[in-house]
Amino acid sequence: MNTPDADGLLAEQLLRLTRRVHRIQKRQLELCGLAITPAQSRLLRTLAHYSSPPRMADLAERLEVVPRAVTTLVDGLEASGRVRRVPDPTNRRVIRIELTDDGRQALRELRGARRAAAEDILAPLTDDQRKVLGGLLNTLVDGVGAIEEPKDRC
């Protein structure tokens, strides 16, 4: 007797939810008129966590992308006035990336758009269901119990 692949179903549901979250966030960004991509949004949020302007290599590492991808994102954000390249005070060969006032304003607007997107996604859930989901997501994000190296499943 064949049994359904429960883990496969969960994986598919997670992927579908991820795509839905992405679509809703993108729509909220468009409604706000920010003219910013989700990837640029992520870079701005990441920049906000640094106490001093990071190097592009630091951003690439934190974002888990290749440095070239960061260059493209910074180019777009710099053209819109949201970030600027600044020389490192101790090494003139190093360029650092800092938020501008426009970038900080965009971050405030992004937070509102993200909250609206989250509310849209979570609307069908009760408060208790949201608490349970939050706990489950924390477990998945923190990787509790996932100490082993990932298994090769290909």
Residues 6+ apart with CB under 8 A from 22: 38
Buried b (16+ CB within 10 A) or exposed e, 112-126: ebbebbeeeeeeeee
Burial class (CB in 10 A: 0-12, 13-18, 19+), 62: middle
pLDDT higher than threshold 50 for residue 1: no
The pLDDT, as a whole number, for residue 150 is 54
- Give the residue extent of every domain in the chain: 41-126
Q: What confidence category does residue 124 fall into, taking pLDDT thresholds of 50, 70 and 90?
A: very high
What fold is seen in the domain 41-126?
Arc Repressor Mutant, subunit A (1.10.10)
pTM, full prediction: 0.73
Tens-digit pLDDT profile for residues 53-112: 999 999 999 999 999 999 999 999 999 999 999 999 899 899 999 999 999 999 999 888
Return the percent helix, strand and coil in the chain, to nearest 5: 60, 5, 30
CA atoms within 13 A on the CB side of 7: 0
Residues 113, 22: contact at Cβ < 8 Å?
no
